[in-house]
Amino acid sequence: MSVDRSVLHRALERGEQEGGHVEFKERLTREVHLAEGRLESLAAQLRHRVLSGDGEAQYVVGVTDDGGIAGIDPEAFSETLDVLSLLAEEASAHIDDVQTWGTEGPGLVGVATVRDGGQLTADDDHVIVGTAGHVDHGKSTLVGSLVTGRADDGDGDTRSFLDVQPHEVERGLSADLSYGVYGFDGDGPVRVENPHRKHERAAVVEQADRVVSFVDTVGHEPWLRTTIRGLVGQKIDYGLLVVAADDGPTDTTREHLGVLLATELPTIVAITKTDLADDARVEAVERDVERLLRDTGRTPLPVERHGVDAAVEETDDAVVPIVRTSAVGDEGLDVLDELFERLPKTAAAGGDFRMYVDRSYSVTGVGAVASGTIKSGTVEAGDELLLGPFSDGSFREVEARSIEMHYHRVDKAEAGRIVGIALAGVRESELERGMVLVPRDADPTPTRAFEADVMVLNHPTRIDDGYEPVVHLETASEAARFHPEGGQLLPGDTGRATVEFKFRPYLVEEGQRFVFREGSSKGVGTVTGLLD
């Protein structure tokens, strides 16, 4: 809820004027204001306000016609926004921002900013890149320079754009899981001046023919589980692993590379900070990276030697391009631009709608919001869905009231999109990471146990029957018991195992990849069968 009331005070002082862009509405209802004839009249009024404000109008909700503070309850406020959104759509506009304040009573008052231009159709190409790498190897600085087009000052100037705390990200109805976004149109890159400015991010999504989102991961070893969740829990198209030229590959680099490659994610390695090392050092680090890739059965492809065309044609889960970069000297950034513009999207959009919940939060006047990456199919505002499983294995009927992507409201969204879905029929406190949204006519069957093919990446001794790591599957992170076939698995072994979640069921499918870890032990697996 907004604290600074200056926006509200200015709108009230300006007041409704015949040729002005401010409109007062105590409340709007579907039954009254969407009736035949009334909708067209109100949409024409909204269009007039938008044109009077040079493309922007302000609707003050919860006030009387003369500007008196009335306040309406959250449910009425939410319905008012839904109706206003439909009116805006009818008038070829969209709600860009909503700020709310409490009144002396239990009601709400708010200011909705309506901008010219219809909602995003969400049919453009959208590539999601998961970033990984050791702390201080320049991951955030590199992405900051890519999305802004600005060289770093050598002290992490562009990195500061991306140091966003969760409470800042979850301030509004947006699934801002990614920490950077830019795009491409017919004239080249479409960038932002400041990634913190939500209207700039929304403009990229609206204007670009291809959108590139970066999903953040954490470089510190103690937070590897967060990195795993970022890489496993999102429908990522490519991995971007950074290795600093002045440091070279570290144990964390190897851990992150292992997760990227074990989950069969096509990956690009960026050697960063080349401005801090001489040519001999850069070449030595590049050879170390090539050796590391060959040790994992991958073929390195240094772009400096083979060219961008070869990288675009060859990149897959077996061939890994290596790009030399410097955010300070702009080296290699044009190469990454070309790769992200030309590489094909790897995630298929077919199948029924499915989205695993990664985050949840509550927005005043809107209610519970579930955010995540759409795994398959499409979802439209107004769709009736099932949410679950809850701890008892049940699913509940909910409605997708509205959808947002990078602060831009959309009518529908498809596989690969990072979205926030406002849900009717559930409280935010009931939403949990690892839950899934599916169509209402689906027949989801949760499970507490499944069979899997597993590979042990690292373990100090051996994995015995009853071993209890944390399993990261989609967005779920849950303790589980392992029962290896034959009773044990040694480091480097590949084998079969039965996996049982300890505390609650999840929706699991054959073919899903997962990562498990406990202490320094790490491994990956593929679900091969479900058990009762």
Least confident among 102-111, 352-361, 404-413: 404-413
Confidence of residue 414 (pLDDT cuts 50, 70, 90): confident
Residue 364's pLDDT is what? Answer: 65
Q: What is the mean pLDDT of residues 331-349?
A: 86
How is residue 441 annotated by DSSP?
Answer: T
CB 61 within 8 A of CB 33: no
pLDDT at residue 163, as a whole number: 45
The pLDDT assigned to 123 comes to: 44
Half-sphere exposure of 229 (CA within 13 A, CB side): 19
Kind and range of the H or E element at 75? helix 74-90
Q: What pLDDT, on a 0 to 100 scale, did the predictor assign at position 161? A: 53
Task: Kindly indicate the confidence band of residue 176, based on its pLDDT and cuts at 50, 70 and 90.
Answer: very low
Quote the distance between the C-alpha of residue 347 and its chain's center. Answer: 15
Query: 522: helix, coil or strand?
Result: strand
Residues 463-485: pLDDT tens digits? 889 999 989 888 898 999 999 99
Domains by residue range for the chain, with CATH: 6-116 (3.30.110), 125-342 (3.40.50.300), 354-439 (2.40.30.10), 449-531 (2.40.30.10)
Q: Check residue 520 and give its pLDDT.
A: 61
Percent above pLDDT 70 for the chain: 84
pLDDT-derived band at 170, boundaries 50, 70, 90: very low
CA distance 404 to 381: 10
**C-alpha span between 111 and 118 (Å, rounded):** 20
* 3 state SS for 309-374: HHHHHHCCCCEEEEEECECCCCECHHHHHHHHHHCCCCCCCCCCCEEECCEEEEECCCEEEEEEEE
Averaged confidence pLDDT in the chain:
83
Task: State the pLDDT at residue 223.
Answer: 35
Q: How many CB atoms lie within 10 A of CB 420?
A: 29
What pLDDT does 326 receive?
A: 95
Q: Which of 34-48, 112-126, 251-265 has the lowest mean pLDDT?
A: 112-126
Please give the DSSP secondary-structure letter assigned to residue 154: S
Beta strands in 117-199 (DSSP E): 125-133, 178-185, 188-190
The CA distance from 182 to 191, in Å, is 5
Is the full-model pTM beyond 0.85? no
d(CA 199, CA 96): 8
Which carries the bigger pLDDT value, residue 348 or residue 115? 115
Mean pLDDT of 185-195: 86
DSSP state string for 231-260? HHSS--SEEEEEEETTT---HHHHHHHHHH
281-312 pLDDT tens trace: 999 999 999 999 998 889 999 999 999 999 99
Of the pLDDT bands very low, low, confident and very high (cuts 50, 70, 90), residue 155 is: low
What distance in Å separates the CA atoms of residue 92 and residue 320, rounded to the nearest whole number? 45
What is the chain's alpha carbon radius of gyration, rounded to the nearest angstrom?
25
Residue-wise pLDDT tens digits, 82-133: 788 778 878 878 777 788 888 877 788 989 888 887 554 444 477 888 888 8
